[in-house]
Amino acid sequence: MADDNVRTTAPEAVTSATDSPSPTTSAPEAPASRPPRAGGRPGGPGGRERKYFRRKKVCKFCVEKIQAIDYKDYRLLGQFVAESGKIVPRRLTGVCTPHQRRLSVAIKQARNIALLPFGARA
């Protein structure tokens, strides 16, 4: 898994035509269209602490430009609710803060009107 970008071996980072005999990691002389390291985008699962930005997960609502989150739309809301019924934190779903707040309100409204459960089914 791409969890360490200390040493990327030549065949992966560099195109096969231009192979440098030295195994040290160095920027290839190939045109700078491809980053020298493949670890620019951490593909690890959420939960690993990273210094820099987590994977480029975007807010679904910002992308689709959904302004209002309706409590009646339980199918959409259900995507942000875990199996146990808990609201999934935004660091896992990638939702931005204002939308997460509205989403949270909508989920709680839906729970009150029995469209979503409060807890897992017994």
Partner 1 sequence: MRTYEVMFIVRPDMTDEDLDRLLSTLETQAGTAGGSVKSVERMGKRRLAYEVRTFHEGTYILLTVESGGAAIHELERRLRVTEPVIKFLTVRVDEEQARLAKLKEAQAARRRGAAPAPAETGGGETAAVTA
Shortest distance (Å) from residue 78 CB to partner 1 = 10
Minimum distance, C-beta of residue 69 to partner 1, in the bound complex (Å): 10
CB of 117 to partner 1, least distance (A): 4
Among residues 7, 41, 72, 101, the one that binds partner 1 under rule CB under 8 A: 72
The two structure tokens encoding residue 41 = 């985008």
Residue 73 burial (10 A CB sphere; 0-12, 13-18, 19+): middle
Taking alpha carbons only, the member of 67, 66, 79 closest to residue 107 is: 79
Binding site for partner 1 (CB under 8 A): 67-68, 71-72, 109, 111-118
